[in-house]
Amino acid sequence: MQQQNYNQQQNQQNYNQQQNQQNYNPDYGQPSKVAKTMNAAIVTGEYFSKKENKNKKSYLTIGKLFIYQDGGMSLKLDALPIGNQTINFYDIKPKQQQSQQPNYNNNQQGNYGIKL
């Protein structure tokens, strides 16, 4: 009985492989490439900026929005907003280069530095 079930499974797998080879389309089922990535953020509160002398909103980044070349979009959330929140999408700003980066390879007290 077990041998018969095994043979049926093998026959089904062979049939599926043959069908896949006959109907092979290299673009079908392939994920579209990401054209643009944006930050997903919510407003968490307000604060007063002494520098600009006005109230400003504080934001919390909760995920990323991926926009694909075929026009599709997907949203990856790292946190869920609670209550009546609006998710805002912003272009990702490039990080400023630090003038002095620590050298973790030449740590005299042992190589305990963590390089991210």
Query: Domain segments of the chain: what residues?
Result: 31-92
pLDDT digits (tens, 9 = 90+) for 50-100: 999 999 999 999 999 999 988 889 999 999 988 888 999 999 888 766 555
| Residue 75 three-state SS | strand
Q: With 90 as the cut, is the pLDDT of residue 41 above it?
A: yes
The residue among 7 and 37 whose pLDDT is bigger is 37
Q: With 90 as the cut, is the pLDDT of residue 19 above it?
A: no
End-to-end CA distance of the chain: 55
Single-letter residue type at 38: M
The residue among 68 and 109 whose pLDDT is bigger is 68
* Count of C-beta atoms within a 10 Å radius of residue 108: 5
| pTM exceeding the 0.85 threshold for the entire prediction | no
| Residue 42 three-state SS | strand
What is the structure's pLDDT at 38?
A: 94
Structural tokens at position 112: 């305990």
Average pLDDT over residues 10-19: 59
